[in-house]
Amino acid sequence: MESKNALSKLSALAQENRLAVFRLLVRAGHDGLPAGEIAAALDVPPNTLSAQLNILSNANLIEGKRQGRSIIYTANYDAISGLIVFLMEDCCQGREEVCSPVMAAAQSACC
């Protein structure tokens, strides 16, 4: 990932509501959630949310697909792991201090 790409992902996530949206969608899994439900869950007006979904979507962190009247948003797992890898490789080159806590967390969290 080039750093420009990483920058757009970082700034998309660097906002309370958008980070919350992303976390919600990650938890929602591959089925995703319609925009309206996200707005309700976060208690944000639908047009405000729409702007934020757009920013996350432009950063490629989420994707929206129309399904009937709703638009279902899903998290893009590749994108977030790409960002994490960018941070790791950018920081980790020979830097065991950064890398090994991440490895440890990965092992206990999932792998």
**Residues 33, 83, 11, 110, CA torsion sign:** positive
User: What tokens does 43 get?
Assistant: 């208690």
Partner that binds at residue 47, options a second copy, DNA, none, CB closer than 5 to 8 Å by kind: DNA
At residue 13's C-alpha, the angle toward residues 11 and 16, to 5°, is: 110
The reply on whether position 40 binds a second copy by CB under 8 A is no
Each residue 77-106 as x (binds DNA by CB under 7 A) or -, in order, gives ------------------------------
Say how far apart CA 75 and CA 60 lie, in whole Å: 9
Which H or E run contains 77?
helix 77-92
Task: Compute the distance between CA of residue 25 and CA of residue 17 in angstroms, rounded to an integer.
Answer: 12
Closer residue to a second copy, CB minimum distance, 46 or 90: 90
- Residues in touch with a second copy (CB under 8 A): 3, 6-7, 10-11, 13-16, 19, 23, 26-27, 75, 77-78, 80-85, 87-103, 105-107, 109-111
Binding site for DNA (CB under 7 A): 11, 15, 17-18, 34-37, 39, 44-55, 64, 66, 68-71
